[in-house]
Amino acid sequence: MSGVLRADVPPVALTIAGSDSGGGAGIQADLKTFAAHGVYGLSAITAVTAQNTVAVTGVQEIEPELVSSQIAAVVSDFPVGAAKTGMLSSAAIIRAVAKAVDDHELRVVVDPVMVAKSGDRLLRADAVDALRDDLLPRAALLTPNVPEASDLTGLRVENEDEMQAAGERLLGMGPRAVLMKGGHLNGDAVVDLFLEGGRVVRLRGHRIHTRATHGTGCTLSAAVAANLALGRTLPVAVKRARQYLRTAMLRAAPLGQGHGPLGHLPPPS
């Protein structure tokens, strides 16, 4: 990490992720989330996607060397307090990002993005091993949803006990903490599990019945990174990020014909 944060300089966070032309997920969601927290946002784009609330119709990956160059350029000039990853697309990009995390001593929240809300795949099948072996051990926090946790562990995840078993297996793969997101399970309550060391904390909330769910994973992980950049501890960052996500879901405008975007920013006064 470079630079020393002064009192008159805002906190800084970096997102390493894909671009969403619909603005609801990826880089765009992350930067809006950073801004909502008063955090200055930097970006390193890993892929450009053509997508909206209904489907992903095209993907163009960025060369791994350019991904590395983007990270090096901003880290050399800004005091990055925290980083997060989203869509990484390929094994080569994952390895480049993992090396950058080491080279620049980044504190990174890893959102293991595999499939878009529309069901379109955003991580190549042959890149899952690289994600598991090269990036997970470098994560300050891993934030998988139920399908992602199942893909990474090979375990069936259909209830809270199985969520915990998958979370514990993921914790054994090297991340310092895991936030298991339970939104894919059935029920009026949503239960997330925060695992750190030997501790498991159940975080409960009422389910919000809305179609504005595009970019929820991106937004949550970005909010955790923003709170870390603001100097908060990881457990506090997770709790505040969950609160922010709920607020963003509740104030979402009815945009798009599919899974709509969140209301990341408050309405103008």
Catalytic positions, please? 181, 213, 215-218
Segment 115-119 long-range contacts (CB within 8 Å, at least 24 positions apart): 115/147, 115/148, 116/25, 116/51, 116/56, 117/25, 117/213, 117/214, 117/215, 117/216, 117/258, 117/259, 118/51, 118/53, 118/54, 118/55, 118/56, 118/258, 118/259
Asked if 192 contacts 242 with a C-beta cutoff of 8 angstroms, the reply is yes
DSSP string, 50-62: EE-SS-EEEEEEP
Report the distance separating Cα 262 and Cα 59, nearest Å: 22
Cβ-in-10-Å burial (0-12, 13-18, 19+) of 119 comes to exposed
Report the distance separating Cα 72 and Cα 68, nearest Å: 6
Asked if 180 contacts 149 with a C-beta cutoff of 8 angstroms, the reply is yes
Report the distance separating Cα 91 and Cα 236, nearest Å: 32
Q: Which residues contact 98 (CB under 8 A, 6 or more apart)?
A: 134, 135, 138
180's tokens: 């298991």
